[in-house]
Chain A
């Protein structure tokens, strides 16, 4: 155990991020409702953000670039959620369900 003020090694943060990412992957593969899949994607983006910030602040020459990238990822996650939910609402209005297994209108 290190004798510093913090005493948290970077690998702890990376492990938490890995758990979140794998949980998101599991949810993406098992959920069948479009909104549930969106939730899982948000989990995975969040895991990526944790990694970015951890590497940014744990480098020997720490940089704020990790935080800036994380801000961009959050922005794009908001954009993705807005478009995804608009599509979900539109599909629900036309088909009265949001089951991705039954969305086959555009399939050949």
Chain B
């Protein structure tokens, strides 16, 4: 399809839509003072990222993203905000130099990254047209996880168990007379 003299594909249109949603929601996360709205916008950002994963030929990862990130992490953050509602009153730093420093650091880093992306040899060596078609179903990801990466996989489950116990111990109310 041709738009303003440019040849444009449906994939490009969906990429632009998803990327626009993701970037705008991310800017909302860092700019909106109300922390609850920022947390919900983070959920929107993660949804947009799941859509980008689908465009990158990674449907399994998109499902994991929606289930774990949007379903678990954002819910947990929202519940933590409810439990400590004083957090709503803590907005940004009082001084403006924080904004200046933060904006300058972010702008400089973005400039650096953009120049790197434009000139990088990795980008030139990548496939130009789009993600190469391959077997990307659940089965091949599972084979990858359980054959070459089985040790990190088991280590991750150990980390999750440790974190679960640690989080309970830290968040538990300490009563006198209890260890």
Contacts and interface: CB of A to CB of B under 8 A. Distances in A.
Contacts of A70: 58, 61
Nearest to B118: A11
Interface in B133-164: 134, 136, 140-141, 144-145, 149, 152, 156, 159-160, 163-164
A10 B123 contact: yes
A54 B15 CA distance: 13
B80 A30 contact: no
A31 B22 contact: no
Contacts of A38: 77
A22 B106 contact: yes
B126 A15 contact: no
B4 interface: no
A40 B102 CA distance: 12
B26 A19 contact: yes
A3 B48 CA distance: 26
Interface SS of chain B: helix, strand, loop or mixed?
A: helix
Contacts of B101: 29
Contact of B56 (A32, A40, A54, A88): A54
Nearest to A75: B156
Interface string A39-67: 11011001001100111111110101101
Nearest to A20: B26
Contacts, number: 268
Interface of A: 1-16, 18-36, 38-40, 42-43, 46, 49-50, 53-60, 62, 64-65, 67-68, 70-72, 74-79, 81-83, 85-90, 92-93, 96-99, 101
11 contacts: A16-B23, A18-B113, A22-B106, A39-B29, A39-B35, A39-B42, A43-B26, A50-B49, A60-B126, A74-B68, A98-B86
Given A11-B117, A19-B26, 15 more contacts: A22-B113, A23-B29, A27-B29, A38-B77, A39-B77, A53-B56, A56-B58, A58-B56, A65-B144, A70-B61, A78-B73, A79-B159, A88-B84, A92-B83, A96-B86
Interface of B: 6-9, 11-12, 15, 19, 22-23, 26-27, 29-30, 35, 38-39, 42, 45-46, 49, 52-53, 55-58, 60-61, 64-65, 68-69, 72-73, 76-77, 80-81, 83-84, 86-87, 90-93, 98-99, 101-103, 105-107, 109-110, 113-114, 117-118, 122-123, 125-132, 134, 136, 140-141, 144-145, 149, 152, 156, 159-160, 163-164, 166-168, 170-171, 173
